[in-house]
Amino acid sequence: MGHSSRYTSKQADANGVIDYSEEENRVWGDLMSRQLPVLPGRVCDEYQHALELMNFPRDRVPQLAEISAVLQEQTGWSVAPVPALIDFTAFFKLLANRQFPAATFIRRREDMDYLQEPDIFHELFGHTPLLTDYRFAAFTEAYGNAGLAADRRDHAMLARLFWFTVEFGLINTADGLRSYGAGLVSSPGELTYSLDSEVPQRRPFDPIDALRTPYRIDIYQTVYFVIDSFDTLYELAQADLAALVAEARRLGMHAPTFPQRESA
């Protein structure tokens, strides 16, 4: 959103099948092989269980229809192919209709460790598993509806709520702090950093606090928000998100906790 991409989504054929090359399938397999061993003891049980439900192939990029079939059975969601980047309105509309947008390209090997724009591995491995949980799915749908109803000036503020929950959220469990955010569970580096590093702040989740907190997309996060359970997100789905945004706007933004980008 608001950035250009070096990647272009792949188009499906008349049967809805996307043809991935042998190298692209190998990249998927290598990403899976690298990420799966990092998860135990670092992701929450809900994500681990959801990952088992998804049953992603290890040797090829999954077809979106395969993913949609699992989501439809569990919570009525599906996956919608989109260009590499879409605007806020299109994003909110898809979520409000229980469709998660997924760019269909996969990263190149030179981008294995970091890719600014979300690829098919991030979208499927990171995002779709927890959409099998009715609480997480309800929050994501409510977020989409709130975005459609919001004034355009509030889109960036709503993006912060998504960022600090769906993308980079942490959760308290009986076994200690764990991750559930898609940007963490799909990244070996930041997954361990978010839990083990003494550098970032880890704040109890408060939606107004999250709405007021700036972030950067090109560095490890300096702030993470911690929910106590997915019931927190389910309850937030029933709340008046517009009123929370209005209160956050009234209070104003927090000061950044990260260094400013160096000018070119």
Is 167 part of the annotated catalytic residue set?
yes
**Active site (annotated) includes residue 155:** no
49 included as an active-site residue: no
Contacting residues for 222 by C-beta, under 8 A, at least 6 apart: 199, 200, 201, 215, 257, 258
Q: Which of 9, 78, 186, 194 is catalytic?
A: 186
Please identify which of the residues 9, 24, 117, 122 carries the catalytic annotation: 122
Encoded tokens for 165: 């929950």
Q: Identify the three-state secondary structure at position 18.
A: coil
Is residue 182 within 8 A of residue 126, CB to CB? The reply is yes
Is 122 annotated for ligand binding? yes
- Token pair, residue 168, equals 């980079």
Measure CA 32 to chain center. Answer: 17
The Cα–Cα gap between 95 and 177 comes to: 28
To the query of whether residue 122 is one of the catalytic residues in this protein, the response is: yes
Reduced to 3 states, what is the DSSP secondary structure of residue 87? coil
3-state class (DSSP) for residue 131: helix
What is the distance, to the nearest Å, from the Cα of residue 24 to the centroid of all Cα atoms in its chain? 22
How remote is the C-alpha of 107 from its chain's centroid? 17
Q: Is 167 annotated as a binding residue?
A: yes
Q: Which of 46, 117, 123, 127 is catalytic?
A: 127
Say if residues 211 and 254 touch (Cβ distance below 8 Å): no
Annotated binding-site residues for Fe cation read: 122, 127, 167
Annotated binding-site residues read: 122, 127, 167
List active site positions: 122, 127, 167, 186
